[in-house]
Amino acid sequence: MKEVIAKQRWMRLIPIAFITYSLAYLDRANYGFGAASGLAKDLHITAGTSSLLGSLFFLGYFFFQVPGASYAEKKSAKKLIFWSLILWGLLASATGMINNIKILFVLRFALGVVESAVMPSMLVFLSHWFTKKERSRANTFLILGNPATVLWMSIVSGYLVNSIGWRWMFIAEGLPAVIWAFIWWKIVDDKPKDAKWLSDQEKHDFAAQLEKEQEGIAPVKNYGEAFKSKPVILLSAQYFLWSIGVYGFVMWLPSIIKAAPNMSIVETGWLSSVPYILSVILMLVASYFSDKTLNRSAFVWPFLLIGAIAFYISYAIGTSHFWISFILLVIAGGTMYAPYGPFFAIIPEILPRNVSGGAMALINSMGALGSFAGSYIVGYLNGATGGFSASYIFMAGSLFLSAILTVWAIKAAKKSKNQTKVNVSA
């Protein structure tokens, strides 16, 4: 494959993928700012109910992952994401217009349902366009939309709330997704064979390269067989625990910071953005070396272990030393995000194409359950204890277990692959 094709793919597709996922993440993560800046007070929402509302998104997000990935693989990721963009933009904007808590429950759940297909569909989409030696970086540039969005959203949302209120913040931040849907539809092609900017020879060469990568991967008949495999089960459990830490952190960091003495909402916005600067740097570094070495595990579990240790030390120091605790939270946030690219490069390398998309969707759906548990339980612990120490321990323990499961899952995958080689040789 010519170098010029590689450049064309990166320049054409990665910015599109990045912006699309950024908009999705914006409309799911800004609830934390809305809750901290007037939504909860205006709608008379208690701390426990606010936790449930913040986490309800992930319950809706859980249900339609696998059907979405299946549709993207068998029919069209382009079409699915087009309609998702329109619907989630409208639902996010509608959050700024309601006065009834019951409607807010419906909106949060529906937003999760609509967005549930986006992540697995985008991973399937990228797996059609990027090779094994590129996939960790491609996934990372997609998922960079997560911390990069929270980074600028934390700042912009703080100013928007301060100047026009939480209602207009939701409306203003929801509409760009609707506009972007039509740009997405105009620019994107589902697969290289559909791209007018590639020659027939280039399409053939690229398809041959992707097919060659399937050699040595044991055939799997269907989703049921894939979902019962030991690596998929372990990675699903791992991602559940990892997501507890990530989304407990994302949803409640603004509230944790704002609890400091004399902290304004604008200052909260600026400080909330700092962990995501480190996240972006570490994600790029981890994905680069993961692709360079084709070692995925070594760029997943060590970062999760460091995140667990940072949360624990932050707990041990206590709330009396805010700035030391804040630095440790920055480290925890950065290291929790670093492994995403290498992690989502694992499945396409151990499962054939006909089931890898569904397996990634299953794992991501378990992450959604972990996100639900993380955002709800962290909020509950904060309210029940009147502080953040218990939630730090909870997130630290979850990350520690996820690091252990990563090592176990990779060993199981290698054992399965070696067994396949022995069977083929026999």
**pLDDT of 70 strictly over 60:** yes
Q: Cα–Cα distance between 84 and 307 in angstroms, integer?
A: 33
**pTM to 2 decimal places:** 0.78
260, 255, 239, 298 alpha-carbon torsion, rounded to 10°: -30
CB 409 within 8 A of CB 231: yes
Q: How many CA atoms lie within 13 A of 79 on its CB side?
A: 7
Higher pLDDT, 99 or 292: 292
197-229 burial: b if 16+ Cβ within 10 Å, else e: ebeeebbeebeeebeebeeebeebeebeebbeb
For residue 422, the model assigns a pLDDT of 45
Q: What is the mean pLDDT of the chain?
A: 83
* Torsional class of 352: left (φ above 0), alpha (ψ -120 to 50), beta (otherwise): beta
Residue 4 has a pLDDT of: 58
Neighbour-count burial of 74, counting CB atoms closer than 10 A to its CB (0-12 exposed, 13-18 middle, 19+ buried): exposed
Condensed to tens digits (0 to 9), the pLDDT of residues 157-206 reads 778 888 887 888 888 888 999 999 999 999 999 988 888 888 888 888 88
Going by C-alpha positions, the residue among 231, 239, 226 that lies closest to residue 339 is 239
Q: Give the pair of three-digit tokens for residue 1.
A: 């494959």
- Report the first-to-last Cα separation within the chain, whole angstroms: 34
Q: At 99, is the pLDDT very low, low, confident or very high (cuts 50, 70, 90)?
A: confident
Mean pLDDT of all residues in 269-288: 86
% of residues, the chain, pLDDT over 90: 24
CA-angle at 364, arms to 359 and 367, nearest 5°: 135
| 301 residue type, one letter | W
